Structure 1
Amino acid sequence: MIRLSIEHLETIRSHAENIYPEECCGIILGYLASEGKTTVEVMPTENAWNTEAGAEFSSERTVESKKRQYAIAPEVMLQAQKQARDRSLNIIGIFHSHPDHPAIPSECDRLYAWQGYSYIIVSVQNGKATQVRSWSLDDTHQFQAEAIENIT
């Protein structure tokens, strides 16, 4: 389970709508506990996907655009990791949007995902954020739905 405030969810939805029709992305900082993850901060980031990034992973993906792919620049992840450590927090997840598609992970999402993180996906239909769902990888590297709980 991942816990987020209404404000955190609104930040994710707003970022997704502002970046539409491209995929948005961002980093989620918080605490890890036996009963789940608790969000402290949502950090919208730039979608750094480009053909060079795509070529690193698969020659088939190079024609994809930011409308169907996202990437967080390594230096941005490193900076977020340092900020989290300085505040005694962890990176607990990543969020991104699916423009005009459901909030269900793609095969590309699965291939690039890391175990231990929550992956929040927001579906943006015609520029309006709709469904928000969270996913995490199981021991066989398959996504499983993860409950989202609101915190105040």
Structure 2
Amino acid sequence: MKLHITQTDYDALRAHGEETYPHECCGVLLGHAKDDGNHVSAIVRAGNTRTDSAHNRYNISPMELIKIQREGRKQGLDIVGFYHSHPDHPAMWSSTDFAEAHWFGCCYVITSVDKGKANLTNAFHLAGTTEDDKAFQQEEILITKAVGENA
């Protein structure tokens, strides 16, 4: 499986992490799930509602998530993933990230932001069908050209 994302969207989610540093940023990936992976057509920034530990946790409010999902559907897009940053921490999922991941088939993108600068970005596919058999699998990020973008 691969995550297909344009350079523009990839750069934007990384910039979001730099802007919210030293707190975690978060957002939603909209697009289409296909046989070769999730294809991102748009990213939507979301507010991190965590007030107790925003430097190492994130939460998207259910109301905001529903709004993003409805707006996406109006454009013919589905939620295909989520992204967040890890300030001064590796771009690897944590036990909390895993425990709070429930969107099977979606991609979870994590960018490490070191001293305010986006570093490594990794993607993980949430495989499985239940909480008992779920697993994160490393996913390749494939940067694609935007429609109408020159080669």
Q: TM-score, normalised by structure 2?
A: 0.89
Of 57, 61, 71, 1:73 maps to 61
How far apart, CA to CA, are the structure 1 residues paired with 2:48 and 2:64?
11
Aligned CA RMSD, in angstroms, stands at 0.9
Q: Which residue of 2 aligns with 1:18?
A: 19
Q: Which residue of 1 aligns with 2:70?
A: 82
Confirm or deny: 8 A CA contact 2:38 2:106 kept in the other structure: no
SS at match of 1:102: coil
Amino acid of the structure 1 residue aligned with 2:62 = P
Equivalent pairs counted in the alignment come to: 139
- Counterparts of residues 104-119 of structure 1 (less than 5 Å): 104-114=92-102, 115-119=104-108
Confirm or deny: 8 A CA contact 2:28 2:45 kept in the other structure: yes
How far apart, CA to CA, are the structure 2 residues paired with 1:76 and 1:88?
18
Indicate whether 1:122 and 2:111 are aligned: yes
How far apart, CA to CA, are the structure 2 residues paired with 1:120 and 1:24?
11
SS at match of 1:93: strand
Greater fraction of residues in helix: 1
Q: Which residue of 1 aligns with 2:141?
A: 148
How far apart, CA to CA, are the structure 2 residues paired with 1:25 and 1:137?
17
Give how far 1:137 is off.
Answer: 1.9
Give how far 1:138 is off.
Answer: 2.4
How far apart, CA to CA, are the structure 2 residues paired with 1:127 and 1:28?
23
SS at match of 2:96: helix
Structure 1 runs, 4 residues or longer, greater than 6 Å off: none
How far apart, CA to CA, are the structure 2 residues paired with 1:144 and 1:50?
30
Give how far 1:103 is off.
Answer: 0.4
Q: Which runs of 5+ in 2 are unaligned?
A: 146-151
How far apart, CA to CA, are the structure 2 residues paired with 1:46 and 1:82?
17
Identity, % of aligned pairs? 33
Q: TM-score, normalised by structure 1?
A: 0.88
SS at match of 2:15: helix
